[in-house]
Structure 1
Amino acid sequence: MSVLNELETVIASRKGADPETSWTAKLLSKGPEKCAEKFGEEAVEAIIAAVKNDRDNLTYEAADVLYHMLVMLAARDVALDDVLNELARRQGLSGIAEKASRS
């Protein structure tokens, strides 16, 4: 099991946990919109680190982005495997062809 699958399992287990004792439970208790907002904040922090060419901070912020993405997905009951299957479906397609197929 990959670290992302393991993290997804931990996040799912925290859905019903006490928000006073779990950061994940606290995020989830605030609803999907707050989870999405937090994901966006972390993405912006990763972008800033990338623009500043701060490799160490980018690594740290990228980990936050992945965690908060999984929390956001959990808040909307989207499984990581669904996302991975979508990526697998896109393999071998050029980005231009994939975008054209959406319309």
Structure 2
Amino acid sequence: MKEKEFDMTDEPRETIDAKKLPKLDGETRFIIRSEFRTGLTLTIIYFLFVFSVPAMNWFKPDWAFAKVFGGISTSWFLTSIVAMVMAFIIAYVHTKLYERWEKKVQTITSSRK
């Protein structure tokens, strides 16, 4: 299999006018919308958590600044450790939802043929 060759140049290239592109077919639009909804939902969950930490600092400072796990405050623990774990869990959930959705689409596509 021959590898595709690319020109390395600093000369201007042709631009693409997005208005001249054909409209997306229904299946592609469905894929984009469902991926957007999943990503948006998971993003909202993460941002609600991240923005709840300053609210916790403001409304419950005695609890937020209590020392846990070797002197780290609850607020820092939530911001650093829990936020990172949440990011990994959200990435895992998004991947699993995508895999499930991909199997469903393959089933639908193969039944159409």
Structure 1-normalised TM-score?
0.32
Larger radius of gyration: 2
Structure 2-normalised TM-score?
0.30
Structure with more relative contact order (C-alpha pairs < 8 Å, separation 6 or more): 1
